[in-house]
A and B are shown apart, each in its own frame.
Chain A
Amino acid sequence: MDLSSLLLKLVDDAFFAAIPAIGFAMLFNVPPRLLKYCAMAGAMAHAVRLLLTECGMSIELASFCVAVLIGSLAINWSRRKAVPQQCFSVPAVIPMIPGKYIFGAMVGLVKINLGETASPELLMTTLQNALKGTAILAALAAGVALPQMVMSRRKPVV
């Protein structure tokens, strides 16, 4: 793929990731003055993840790297705006949450139970969906939490 078409793809990806970041921020009642930060973080994160996976990185590792980035940004913004970091980090991560895999695993589980015999393909797809979904979700959440855990270590009481 040449550079200009890759760039176009990234811009397109960033734009369509910004919409759910804003939409879900509104669903979570994030204060209106913070919406533009959610959009920025969501768009950037999704586009960077696409770039990393295009370079051959696995989706789990790419999600983790991007989540660390979001976590650091969220700490920075939350200090400047005096609001909890969740206001930024969760809406920004939402476009990357593997809903397709999570629901796919659940639907698969029910379908295995419904049929007389479950085909090996169905078992395989369900297991893959479940593992993929959990792995990406854990990577995202742990990645967002990592910067906070490094920054705020437990202080001695006295």
Chain B
Amino acid sequence: MTVKPPLSVDAQDEVTRMALWAGQLLLQHGAETTLVESAIHRLGCALGCDWVDAAITANAIVITTTSNERFVTKARRVVDRGIDMRRVSDVERLCVMAEKRIIDVAEVRRRLRFISDRARPYNRYLVVLMIGLSCAAFSRLAGGDWPVFAVTFVASAAAMLVRQEIAHKHFSPLINFTVAAAVATSIAALASAFRLGDKPQLAMVASVLLLVPGFPFMNAISDMVKGHVNVGLARWTFALLLSTCVALGILLAMNLTGVWGWI
């Protein structure tokens, strides 16, 4: 191992801050734990530390950097800010650039600020349209015909609008998913009430599929099989909790409309 020049106290402090910030951004926007751990290590080492270790839990990160036998430890809270793969890829690219010595600490700080302030890439109404079409495509994959396709589109697009609106007002995702599921099911129940299409029940199933917490479920299992059982279990539990809320929303709407689909 090559010996690196020792960092000053202030310089090591700044590197620690940057590595921690990068890790926080990754974990907040849905990166898997292995990626967060390696990104923190790579960024810290690229910016001049001898070694960087990170302790990652579901809602906090603690990291320790080492330079010339001196340890600096810092902790930061992590709150779920919603999945954003562009931010995750941008931070990943930043680590690679720092490793290739293309950017220094000051530039890393500037870029992290830019990444964290940057707006989301897609127009929200475009997302509503695409999610509506996606759920409609699910109904078609399950063997539905065109009237069911249309009802599913309307129901899931409406649910997506509601979901964005509630998320914008910073309500808990648990409340959000319950309400969105109730909205989707109530609209989809119209297909059964008016006997639209061949299998109107399919619309009720397909229109809530936008609320499947697929990303947390996938992350949970990939975390657990790669050795991060604690974060994986936390993610798994939260995904189950979200699914329970969706089921409650569905039951609420079925009670109100009197149309009993599903089972």
Q: Which residues of A contact B (CB under 8 A)?
A: 13, 16-17, 19-20, 22-32, 46, 82-84, 86-87, 89-90, 93-95, 97, 99-100, 102-104, 106-111, 122, 125-126, 137-138, 140-142, 144-145, 148-149, 158
Contact = CB atoms under 8 A, between A and B. Distances in A.
A150 to B, nearest CB: 12
A108 B205 CA distance: 14
A126 B250 CA distance: 16
A103 B181 CA distance: 11
B133 interface: yes
Contact of B212 (A25, A86, A102): A102
B246 A106 contact: yes
A106 B83 CA distance: 24
Contacts of A32: 121-122
Interface string B82-108: 011111110011001000000000000
Contact of B134 (A23, A89, A107, A158): A23
B169 interface: no
16 contacts: A17-B137, A23-B137, A32-B122, A82-B92, A83-B89, A84-B92, A86-B35, A100-B205, A103-B205, A103-B243, A103-B262, A104-B263, A110-B251, A126-B263, A141-B222, A145-B222
Given A29-B122, A31-B89, A107-B247, A99 B222 contact: no
A90 B263 contact: no
Given A20-B135, A86-B219, 16 more contacts: A16-B140, A24-B131, A24-B214, A27-B83, A28-B30, A29-B87, A84-B35, A90-B215, A102-B243, A106-B244, A111-B263, A141-B222, A142-B225, A144-B222, A145-B222, A149-B226
B86 A125 contact: no
Contact of A82 (B84, B96, B217): B96
Interface of B: 1, 30-32, 35, 83-89, 92-93, 96, 120-122, 126-127, 130-131, 133-135, 137-138, 140-142, 205, 208-210, 212, 214-215, 217-222, 225-226, 243-244, 246-248, 250-251, 262-263
Contacts of B85: 25, 28-31, 83-84, 86-87
A121 B126 CA distance: 42
A107 B262 contact: yes
B226 A103 contact: no
Nearest to A158: B1
Given A99-B212, A145-B221, A86 B31 contact: yes
Nearest to A21: B134
A145 B93 contact: no
B141 A16 contact: yes
Interface of B is mostly: helix
Interface of A is mostly: helix
A35 B35 CA distance: 21
B263 A22 contact: no
Contacts of B126: 26
B212 A97 contact: yes
Contacts of B141: 13, 16-17, 46, 95
9 closest A-B pairs by CB: A106-B247, A23-B134, A141-B221, A20-B134, A99-B212, A23-B130, A83-B89, A19-B137, A16-B137
Which residue, B88, B214, B225, B250, has most C-beta atoms of chain A within 10 A?
B214
Contacts of A31: 85-86, 89, 121
A116 to B, nearest CB: 16
A97 B217 contact: yes
A58 to B, nearest CB: 19
A70 to B, nearest CB: 11
